[in-house]
Structure formats: structure tokens, C-alpha cells
Amino acid sequence: MVTKLWKSKDAAKCIIVPSALDHKYSRGTLGAITGSAKFPGAAVLTSSAAIATGVGALRFHSNSGLAHLVLHRTPEAIVQPGPVTAWLAGSGIDSKKYSDFTTWLRHRWFLLLNRQSVPTVLDAGALHLAGSLEQPTLITPHSGELSKLLAQRGVIASAELIESNPREWAQKASELLAVTVLLKGSKTVVAQDSYIIELPVATPWLATAGSGDVLAGIIGALVATNYIEILNDLKRLAEVAATGALIHNQSALLASRGGPVNATMIVDAIPQAVAAILK
């Protein structure tokens, strides 16, 4: 097992800075299937976080009123299907497909994931797809979600057990599911088989509603901009995930200044955090 502590100098290598020859589509396009009637804010937070992180374009996939909420905060978003360089799916979506009609519709959109076989981030309500996609896949569970996911594969591990040794369980999940795993917690761990990345202990102020949706949006944007590197070397997906977690924590620290933050404040601080990492 190789373990690396992720720092700003490492993260800087995963932030693609545009050149004078770039245009919006050459800088990556993220397809987002996030939010639901139950958690509409997740659609707004993932989309605004992705835009703030620097993705060239974002395609928000919805056949509901969610698109209007997204456009109100991020009018740059495209609300028509089209080519993407990465997918983000599941944030703010109930894992139970039939919990309500809108959630059922959102799960129907997951069928798109295999039609454009590009690097994919699975969060929350899309975690059950782990191991079923052909493309490079990153999952972003917390310990409780990973416990349920493993149980569905016949491996029993409580959330408390996972939290006691996140490196071991992130690695086991990566090998079992053949995916890259970002295991969220006060100390976030990323695993790609035996390659393990540890993040510095995060600020406790990140324990706030919508924080995970912001993280998903940040990572989705980075995956979309790094898609060529990821397709050439799967190790890059783990490094991009770690970079997203570092930006997430740095954004919270900038927004907090020692006090409480909310998810919207974290989004607003993302460009400043990225700029600081690139210095």
C-alpha cells in the first residue's frame, strides 16, 4: 500500500489552466444529473460549484423545474443534452428509485451514463451503479453510505468500523468494486487499488447541509477538465478527487475565517482557493 499526503503543490498539477488557444468546449464539459423534488438545492449547489471551479461548460440534465433553479443561480448552464467529457450523477437524489415521481425521472436519466463512456463521478443516489459502468468511475460515499454499498455486495462493515480505519476500507472498496473511492470524513481518504491519498484533517465547519453537494460539483469540474489525463492514466482520477477535496476544505477555510459557513459561502470562495493553490 502506497500512501501519499496530498498538499497544495500536488493539487496544482491537477488544475488545468487554460491557454490562449482554449475555448469553452476544449476546457471540458460536465454533464450533471443532480437534485430532485426532495433535494432541489443539490442541483443548484453542484452546478454553481462546478462553474466556480472552472469547467468550460456545464450541461444540466433535467426534465423538471430544477433547470429553472439552476439557471437562476448559474445562467451559464446549458439545459439541453449534448456531448460531455465527464458525468456527475446522484447528488441530492434518493437512492430509492420509487420514492417519488421526480426521483424516478432522475434515475431514468442515469441511463445516459453508459451512452457517453467518459469518466464518471457517482454520488449519493447513484452510488448503487458502482462497478456497473465501463468507464473510469469515482464514487464519493461517507462511511454510512459505503457500509450500505458493501453490504449489498455481501461485505458487512459498520460505519463505525469503516471510520476506525478509512484507508483500509477505502482500498477494499476500490478493489471490490473496481472503482476509485473518495471516502468522505473529517479525514478524507482516496483509494485507487493500492494507491492511497490522505487529505489533511478538514475544518469541522464543513459539517453543514449541502457541503457534500459542493464537493461533488468541484470534483465533477476537475474530472471534466482532466478527462484526457484520466483516460491515459487511471491514477489521475484519484489525484483529481484528492484535489477536489483539498479545494473544498480550502474554500471553507477562506469563507469561514474562524466562524460558521454555509454551502453557498463555500461555493463563492472556490475561485480564491484555486488561485491560492496555483500561486
The number of angstroms, rounded, from the C-alpha of 65 to the middle of its chain's C-alpha atoms is 23
pLDDT at position 63 is 76
Q: How many domains does the chain have?
A: 1
- Angle CA(79)–CA(220)–CA(16) in degrees, nearest 5? 110
Do the bridges between strand 57-60 and strand 29-33 make them parallel or antiparallel, or are there none, so unpaired?
parallel
Contact in structure between 180 and 238 (CB atoms under 8 Å): yes
* Extended strands (E) in 35-149: 57-60, 86-89, 120-122, 137-139
What burial class does residue 12 get, using C-beta atoms within 10 Å of its C-beta: 0-12 exposed, 13-18 middle, 19+ buried?
middle
Q: Is the dihedral of CA 229, 235, 240, 241 positive or negative?
A: positive
Q: In terms of Cα–Cα distance, which of 223, 122, 138, 127 is closest to 178?
A: 138
Count of C-beta atoms within a 10 Å radius of residue 94: 20
CATH classification at residue 39? 3.40.1190.20
Domain span holding position 198: 2-278
> Which three-class secondary structure state does DSSP give residue 230?
helix
Q: Which residues pair with 238 in a beta bridge?
A: none
Q: Given this model, what pLDDT does residue 102 score?
A: 83
Which DSSP string corresponds to 5-24? E--HHHHHTTS----TT--T
| All residues at 6 or more sequence positions from 170 whose CB lies less than 8 Å from its CB, including other chains | 146, 181, 182, 183, 189, 190, 191, 196
Report CA-CA distances (Å) from 135 to 87, 96, 132, 205, 237: 10, 24, 9, 34, 12
- What are the pLDDT tens digits along the chain (279 aa)? 779 999 999 999 999 999 999 899 899 999 999 999 999 999 999 999 999 999 999 999 997 789 999 999 999 999 988 999 999 999 999 998 888 888 898 999 999 999 889 999 999 999 999 999 999 999 999 999 999 999 999 999 999 999 999 999 999 999 999 999 999 998 999 999 999 999 999 999 999 999 999 999 999 999 999 999 999 999 999 999 999 999 999 999 999 999 999 999 999 999 999 999 999
Residue 216: in which H helix or E strand, if any? Answer: helix 211-225
Identify whether the C-beta of residue 170 lies closer than 8 Å to the C-beta of residue 181.
Answer: yes
The sign of the torsion formed by the CA atoms of 27, 6, 246, 171 equals positive
| Rounded Cα distance, 252 and 236, in Å | 24
pTM listed for this prediction: 0.97
3-state secondary structure of 141: coil
Distance CA 137, CA 187 (A): 22
